[in-house]
Structure 1
Amino acid sequence: MTALDGLRVIECASFVAAPSACLMLGQLGADVIRVDPIGGAADYRRWPVAPGGTSLYWTALNRGKRSVAVNMRADEGRELVTALIADAGVFVDNVVGRPWLSYENLAARRADLIHLHLQGRADGSPAVDYTVNAEVGVPTITGGESEAAPVNHVLPAWDLVTGMTVTTGVLAALYERERTGEGAYLELALADVALAGVANLGWLGEAQFRGTERPKHGNHVYGSFGIDFETSDGQRVMVVALTEHQWAALRKVTGTQEVFSALETALNVDLNLEADRYRIRETIAAILRPWFADRSLAEVSRDLDSARVLWGRYRGMPEVAADPAPVLSTVDQPGIGEVPSARSPLRWNGKYGETTTAASLGDHTDEVFSEVLGLSGGELGRLHDSGILG
């Protein structure tokens, strides 16, 4: 994709949120230059890793970016990075304790700079997905009914949502600069994204009016009908009926229309209503369970698809990795070998973009400083010899 062709972004960040944002900007055509300390930042060797020890995490999140390695503890290294940022005009970071990377300092070099600074909390104190998720109450409503302890989930969802918010912020600031010629300083806290998320879903309002915690309910879909079922060959499927049409399709394919009609009369409920389906979810699941238990996954798949039931099959990660889905591809990643890779999920005019590999740490150091700042081979050699460039 080339929508952002001509845009250059300097990234000085680690872990998930900001790198995922800049990955998306790169997939849209921006020239993203990731600046790391010599030897790599804190996330350079983060798990999961390939058998040889190379980080699958780091290489996946940094695909398509140019990589430079700089000694940012030295004044000369700081000046080089500052010059890169001033040239690009767009800077994304999540660093702390580096006054030389402050907006005030950088904007003095380029007045129309767009600087998005990502934080853990709005007061500048640290936080990560796993801590903010605990603090916004999600683990206390997650898990089975009999589980008293909070249950964390493995997906760093708030990091990913924050990353897309970073992308949105950068694009909005670019639009404003195009109209007004003015730069912008944007701050975004991961904790704020999480709090806004649960508030926007109505969960905080529910908690206020309930006055008590929402009960845990395992794999049931809250406020509607949805639950997992086991097939005769030991596979599991997730079946959901959010709408009246989906509920009718599920009843029809399972041959349970009369049973549920009688149940509505007996219990004085209207199962066309999501709320009523949720209230007697266990009864509904018990009625449907034998239909799934009597059929293989292949039979269930055929019948549910034919009836246009909303459902999905539980799969393990190895099976997903082998899936030839159009959004996935395989790249030959240096230091790892062939590995699954994702294209941008945005289909531009009906087509997915291409994917690529990640550079090795510092691969583009000389290229970038020569191209962007015009440093000569002799100057680059001196900077390498003095430990300024990696």
Structure 2
Amino acid sequence: MEPPEVDEAALALPKAKDVLQLRQFPVVYRASAKVQQRGMMDGVYFEQTMGRMMLICPLEKTDTELDEDNFKVEMSCWKIVVSKRVAGCDSKLFDQETCGDIHRDLSWWKVDRADAAGINARCLVIHLAKVRHSLWAGPWYPGGLNPHKKLHFPWTELQGPKDILKGLKIDVEALKNIEPGEPEDWNHEISAAMTPEQLCTGIDIRESEGLLQVVIHLDDGALEGATGRVPLEELFAADISEDELSVFLRGDGFQICTGRFTQKVVPEMSAWQIRSVRRKNLPEDCAVKSPAFFNPALRITLTKAKMCVGKWDEIFQDFQHCPFGYPRDRLDWSDRVNRCMVLLPGSPSNKVGKAKRAQALVTRVEGKQDLLLNRVVLLFHLEDKLAWLCESQRVNMHDLFTFLVPCSHQGI
């Protein structure tokens, strides 16, 4: 008797095309917004998502033989300067201010052949990482009133002398030479240095006749700190197949949630976006006092397969998620502004600069242990100017810091 034939196709692993990998947030249009996902401005072609922008600068016919060694690209968090060197002579191609702030250390460039918008030639291609999750009207800042150009004068005693403000100037405001090529260890570069427990405060699962929605609620303060290091678009990732969903932190790989559907969905028709949502079902033990509590959320919308349209008895066969922190009320606007002025008096709205300054507040850490009392003592040495800055803005220094100690439940 011959053995039955084995269906190798049924045993094969699912192909990559069977899994939709969500990595970029598409452009969300508003009815009155005069913006576009791609276009041309001042001879530079651009394409953008909510977290990144690609600039394509066609080279002149006389420059088509030049390579990356003949170009110099300098960036700050708000400015780009491109120069060309030929026969020992430097000439500036353009000196522009970006429409919004950028992550300089996560932006890169190359010289390559591009085929976009009818351009089929060697081009200088620049990839910019946006600081804020938003849509730009174009690559360049309109007009001459860029906030980064503001000069600060000590009109009152609380504003501090000019030498102190100058000493607090951060590196990201200055131009830095950017070497060509994409970063090799990209996952290490986009690490947010946070766990899902710090970022996520809960999950809501909803359905209609034809759609499923998975809403992951996020902590506003933790998200603000994480996006000071990496763009929000580089923070999350989702893999969707017809019967499974997996959401995780992109750089670190930490799992946020994973589950297997009871029926089928259409992966290719899935979408996601970051929205501010009103959260009605709050945990019982949380300390939120606001009668209308809003928080940012990652909303994933899935389309049910044709044969599965209608209400499902159960959405997931099995569903697992990380532990969640409690939602918190957002600080008053005046308190947030005062703390920003302590961190960065010269540019309180510069998110990247505040993240850099926050790391610089602690100059040294010492640790010692007491074996008799079975305890560890950590001593954090703070910047000398911090006490004066807190006093000038009437901010309690204790309110600037929080200390989180992960607890291990093993052996308890």
Query: Which TM-score tier does this pair reach, normalised by the shorter chain?
Result: under 0.3
The structure with more helix, counted as a fraction of residues:
1
The structure with more strand, counted as a fraction of residues:
2
TM-score of the aligned structures, taking structure 2 as reference length: 0.24
TM-score of the aligned structures, taking structure 1 as reference length: 0.25
